[in-house]
Every structure is written in C-alpha cells, then in structure tokens.
Amino acid sequence: MTMNRRRFIGASAAIAGLGAYSGFSSAATDPATKSLKILFLGGTGFLGPHTVRYALERGHEVTLFNRGKTNKNLFPELETIVGNRDPNIDQGLSGLGNRKWDAVIDTSGYVPRIVAASSQLLADNVGQYLFVSTICQYDDWMAGPELRTEEQPRATLADPATEDVGTHYCALKGYCELAAEDAMPERVTQIRPGLIVGPRDNTDRFTYWVARADRGGEMLAPGKPTDQTQFIDVRDLGMFMVRCIEEESTFSYNLVRQPMPMGEFLESCQRVADKGTTLNWVPADFLAKHQLRPWQELPMWADSESTLSGSLTWSAEKALAAGLRIRPVDDTVRDTLHWFGQLPDDRRANLRAGFSAAKEQEVLAAWNASVSG
C-alpha cells in the first residue's frame, strides 16, 4: 500500500520537530511520480536519516529494520522492525519474513555472510537491492593521481571468510557487493561513496576544518593549495540513492564530488566562517617531521606527490551523467558549521579528528621560525 497523507504528514512533522540540532535541511522537494515501499536496513545513523527523510519527502513509504538502539526516537511515525543483521543473534532477520517491498536500501552491511543472509532472504520479496559500499573497496585504491572509474578491480583477501572489519573494512565491502549480486543478479545497485560529510557527521574529519576556520587567527594549512581533496555531501548522496530506486537503476557508481584544490576548500571555510582566519601553508615534509600525518591528524588531505594522493582523485562522471547533483561547497560548510554550533559545549570542545590548538601553535611557530631564519 502507498503511504497515506496522514502518515506522510505525521512522519514529516516528526522530522521537522527535531529542530536545528537534527542537522536536516528544510528545502521543499517535489513528490515522486509513484510512491514506493522502501525497506532500510539501518537508517538511524548518519547517512540513513538524511536518506530516509528525502524518501519521505518524495512520498515513499518507509520501513526501518534495526536493533532499536541508535537514535530510536528519530522517526517515531515510521514502522520499525526490531531485529539483528546477524541471523545468529537474537531474533535475527525473522521479522522480515513474508513481507514485500519495492526496494531495500542497505546502509549497514559490513560482513559478506551477513549481507548474504539479508539479500538471500529478501530476494523473492523485493525488486531491487541498493547496497552502500565504499570507494576504498577497489584494489590499490589510494594509487594515483589520475582519475579512476568504476572499471577498477575490487580488492581481494587471502581469507574472504574473515569478519575482521577493523582490519579489512575496505576489501570486505567488495565481498559484500558480491554477496548481494549472487543473491539478486542484475537487481543490485552498488553505491561507492568517498568521504561522506555534512550535518550530523560525528567523525569530524570534514568538521575539523570548518570548526578550525571558525576559531579565527592563523590557521595551519597542509601541503600546497593545489593538493586535491574530495568528498560527498551526505544529502547529495542520499538524494541520488533514492533516485536510483525510483528509476530502477542497477549499476555501480562512485559517489564523490570531482576533486577540488585543498586551497579552494579551505577558502570556502574561511569565507563562510567569516572570522578573519588566515592560512599558513606548511610543506608536507615539514608536517611529517612534526608527526602530522595525512588522513590521521590531517583529514581529507594527502600530498599530491605521495602514494596516498589517489585516495582523493576518483571519477564521478558516471554518477553525474546519471543525475547526481552536487551542491556548492559553501552550502555544505555553512550547514555543517550551523549543525556543529548546536552541539553541547563539551562535544564541540573535543573534536574527534584533526589535532589540538596547542599542537598547531607549536608547528606554526617552528615553521615560521624556519622561514624567517
């Protein structure tokens, strides 16, 4: 059955009632030409809520399946089936039996055995399976610097049955893709995002730079202004995923904005924060001597001459041709800064990525002394 007007209004009101702290935008969205029944495996973390919200705005009927532990009050008007992705834990996937949906969106699959269980169970009851994978599932995914496409081979493991996600997260995502394809051939959409950023992102990898520009003063900028960075706004990603379901698009897509200079990104942070922040570009070799490492203390950055540069130079031409819309970077920075500003003081004081103000002052002082002496 399609979502009736009462359920739609109720769900939308519940989302709107979360207020500014929720990190959701409130831009109007046209309804889809056909209302679909969509099952979300997950749906209450970071990517999930934005995607659920957009699906509701498009007029679709949404069912959530999760453990009922994360943000469980986020969508009180929606049906939530409580269970476990692992069929061997508690009630497992039993709540999904004998139910039909037009499509499933899997935002929470990390182990091939578990993705195989859900995709096999749902194979006769859903038309399309959209799996959220990762750009790092490709073999040698950091090699660059040329733009690379969806034609790159997947990474492989000596033991594909391993469930050590901490060590093999990237390669296991590729095997998860294969598990879904084996269960539902020609009915799977593989979504391979790069770094997902925007409001509600608790990793702080993007937020570090936004928040740092908002502090003002002299700001350490890594490497060269021409070094490339790359990411995807969570809302652009969620919109594309829902459109893939609406259009029954069963392809593999890299989901990133095209590479942009780190200088351009940090200038956006300066402009939006409007705190008079100045950038001091410190070379990669100097940063290394002071234990400031790419993707560690320096998220979203790699020296363009290093072996890590390819992690930020992937092609999204296929997705762009299929309708991916990329909002201006200033919008992502502004909305992230607004969301971050609504967080409790102790949360904002303890960023989960980047490096401390004291460390920044130490390195900048050493760099300034080296160039002036």
From the list 78, 98, 100, 82, the residue with the least C-alpha distance to 90 is 82
Nearest-angstrom CA–CA distance, 210 and 9: 34
Token match 């750009």: residue?
135
> Reduced to 3 DSSP states, what percent helix, strand and coil does the chain have, rounded to the nearest 5?
40, 15, 45
Token match 């937020």: residue?
207
Please state, in angstroms and as integers, the Cα–Cα distance from residue 2 to each residue in 50, 126, 205, following that order: 21, 15, 39
Nearest-angstrom CA–CA distance, 66 and 93: 10
Please state, in angstroms and as integers, the Cα–Cα distance from residue 5 to each residue in 12, 52, 56, 60, following that order: 10, 17, 11, 11
Q: What is the pLDDT along the chain (373 residues), one digit of tens a residue?
A: 333 433 434 444 434 333 333 565 545 578 999 999 999 999 999 999 999 999 999 999 999 999 988 888 899 999 999 999 999 999 999 999 989 999 999 999 999 999 999 999 999 999 999 999 999 999 999 987 788 999 999 999 999 999 999 999 999 999 999 999 999 999 999 999 999 999 999 999 999 999 999 999 999 999 999 999 999 999 999 999 999 999 999 999 999 999 999 999 999 999 999 999 999 999 999 999 999 999 999 999 999 999 999 999 999 999 999 999 999 999 999 999 999 999 999 999 999 999 999 999 999 999 999 999 7
Nearest-angstrom CA–CA distance, 307 and 293: 13
Token match 């893939």: residue?
244
Give residues with Cβ within 8 angstroms of 371, minimum separation 6. Answer: none
The residue ranges of every structural domain in the chain are: 5-198+231-255, 207-229+261-309+334-372
Nearest-angstrom CA–CA distance, 35 and 11: 15
Query: What CATH homologous superfamily does 5-198+231-255 map to?
Result: NAD(P)-binding Rossmann-like Domain (3.40.50.720)
From the list 82, 83, 86, 84, the residue with the least C-alpha distance to 113 is 86
Neighbours of 71 (CB within 10 A): 16
Cα angle 113-118-135, degrees, rounded to a multiple of 5: 65
3-state DSSP assignment of residue 101: strand
